[in-house]
Amino acid sequence: MKYTKEHEWLRVEGDLVVVGITEHAATQLGDVVFVELPEAETMVAEGDEVCVIESVKAASDILAPLDGEIVEVNTKLVDKPGLVNEDPTGVAWFFKMKIDDLAALDDYMDEDEYADFIG
């Protein structure tokens, strides 16, 4: 698993990258009440705002971690946003991306580095 400074996790699954938010992020956000997902089969660039998460406290975004194509989104989250708090690193993945070069993932933090990052 790789991690971004925006508190997303990235997991390679075959030739796809699965993206979600970390336990730390879910805790900080508080109870999630709304999730807006991108359309599948959308081309995105690194840093694009692709998802919106609203908690009881505030709204925040998920940014595309890499250039590529969003090929699948987790529509379960639209009906049950609370899954993001219940199981942020499992059931509550947000989207799957196809990227040209998986080596681009190497630029992101590994688990130890992320643990240091959030202190």
CB of residue 14 vs another protein: minimum separation in angstroms? Answer: 32
Nearest to 16 by CA among 75, 74, 58, 82: 74
Closest approach, Cβ 86 to another protein, in A, equals 12
Candidates 6, 23, 48, 54; binder of another protein (CB under 8 A) is 54
Smallest distance from the beta carbon of 93 to another protein, in angstroms? 19
Give the number of residues in contact with another protein, rule: CB under 8 A: 13
Is residue 87 a contact residue for another protein (CB under 8 A)?
A: no
- Dihedral angle over CA of 79, 69, 14, 11, nearest 10: -60
How many residues in total does the chain contain?
A: 119
**Secondary element (H or E) of residue 114:** helix 111-118
86 binds another protein per the rule CB under 8 A: no
Q: How far apart, in whole angstroms, are the C-alpha atoms of residue 37 and residue 34? A: 10
Chain residues binding another protein by CB under 8 A are 30-31, 33-34, 36, 52, 54, 56-59, 78, 81
